[in-house]
């Protein structure tokens, strides 16, 4: 389902970050055409900046990070967020914004909280009611997210992602592949399929050809020429991976020779 249908910029400002970025400077409006939209391009082309501005403008919850209204790292993005006009078919308050660094912070804090609860329970071993309450809180944390200290980053990400997804939501993800092996990226695509079937919409900034292969997704390429729709097979990153994997030795011999 398409909750968010169109993103328009309402200012002609072209100076200062992020307005001076070619993609942001040339942005007029983006029409979203699929439940899954990928933002593809090199670093510093504006993918994350636009995604962060969308998170602020749509008032998303942040998983694992500082609340958007209080996050100082987003101060430079706030003017762009104010300049975005969002057109909805069905506005939803469900969903979240997740950056790779926020996930790692979230996993670390949950491990620390689990350890703290266990420590407090041990200190109150002579009070069964207090100890039972503390261990119950730890158990509920583990039931929801699993033991994030006992599994890989990829497994942790998939558990957190699955536990926080609800139907009919709008989800903004910035480079989820940072926590995922190739095998975990395939598992992530299955979770994505199930969430879309439940009426959710995703905008995902990614460098991963595996994640970007999601069927029938809209792909928007960010480049110095602006933002344009592109087919999966025409992505430069896909072409590079294909050529490399066909014959890594030949590719590297040519690269090192040049």
Average pLDDT, the chain: 84
Distance CA 67, CA 72 (A): 10
Distance CA 16, CA 18 (A): 6
Radius of gyration, CA atoms only, the chain: 21
- Residue 116 above 70 pLDDT? no
- Check residue 72 and give its pLDDT: 86
Four-residue CA torsion sign, 43, 47, 50, 54: negative
User: Strands of 170-174's sheet, edge to edge?
Assistant: 61-62, 96-99, 170-174, 201-205, 36-41, 218-223, 226-229
If we measure between CA atoms, which residue out of 159, 214, 210, 152 comes closest to residue 185?
A: 210
Span 95-107, mean pLDDT? 72
Alpha-carbon 31 to chain mean position:
20
Count helices and strands in the chain by DSSP H and E runs: 9, 10
What does 86-153 look like in DSSP terms, one character per residue? EEESS-----EEEEHHHHHHHHHHHHHHHHHHHHHHHHTTT-HHHHHHHHHHHHHHHHHH--TTSS-H
The token pair at 77 is 């993005």
Angle at CA 72, nearest 5°, toward 68 and 77? 70
pLDDT, tens only, 196-245? 999 999 999 999 999 999 999 999 999 999 999 999 999 998 998 898 89
Task: Tell me the three state secondary structure of residue 243.
Answer: helix
Full set of structural domains in the chain with CATH: 4-257 (3.40.50)
Distance CA 105, CA 110 (A): 9
Q: Find the helix or strand (DSSP H, E) in which 171 lies.
A: strand 170-174
Alpha-carbon 94 to chain mean position:
15
pLDDT, tens only, 47-59? 999 999 999 999 9
pLDDT, tens only, 167-186? 999 999 999 898 788 999 99
The token pair at 165 is 């997804």
Quick one: DSSP state of residue 188? Answer: H
Distance CA 221, CA 227 (A): 6
- Check residue 76 and give its pLDDT: 93
Q: What is the pTM of this model?
A: 0.81
- Residue 65 above 50 pLDDT? yes
């Amino acid at each position: 389902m398409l909750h968010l249908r169109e993103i328009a910029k309402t200012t002609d400002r072209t100076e200062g970050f992020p307005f001076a970025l070619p993609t942001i400077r040339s942005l007029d409006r983006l029409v979203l055409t699929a439940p899954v939209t990928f933002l593809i391009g090199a670093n510093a082309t504006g993918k994350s900046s636009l995604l962060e501005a969308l998170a602020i403008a749509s008032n998303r919850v942040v998983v694992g990070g500082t609340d958007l209204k209080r996050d100082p790292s987003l101060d430079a993005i706030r003017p762009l967020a104010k300049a975005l006009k969002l057109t909805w078919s069905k506005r939803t308050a469900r969903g979240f914004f997740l950056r790779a660094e926020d996930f790692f912070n979230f996993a670390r804090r949950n491990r620390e909280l689990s350890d703290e609860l266990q420590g407090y329970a041990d200190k109150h071993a002579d009070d069964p009611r207090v100890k039972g309450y503390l261990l119950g809180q730890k158990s509920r944390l583990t039931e929801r997210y699993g033991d994030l200290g006992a599994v890989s980053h990829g497994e942790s990400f998939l558990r957190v992602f699955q536990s926080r997804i609800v139907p009919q939501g709008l989800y903004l993800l910035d480079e989820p592949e940072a926590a995922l092996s190739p095998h975990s990226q395939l598992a992530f695509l299955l979770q994505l399929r199930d969430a879309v079937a439940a009426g959710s919409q995703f905008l995902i900034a990614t460098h991963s050809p595996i994640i970007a292969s999601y069927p029938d997704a809209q792909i928007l390429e960010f480049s110095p020429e602006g933002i344009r729709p592109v087919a999966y097979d025409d992505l430069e990153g896909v072409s590079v991976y294909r050529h490399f994997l066909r014959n890594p030795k030949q590719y590297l011999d040519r690269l090192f020779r040049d």
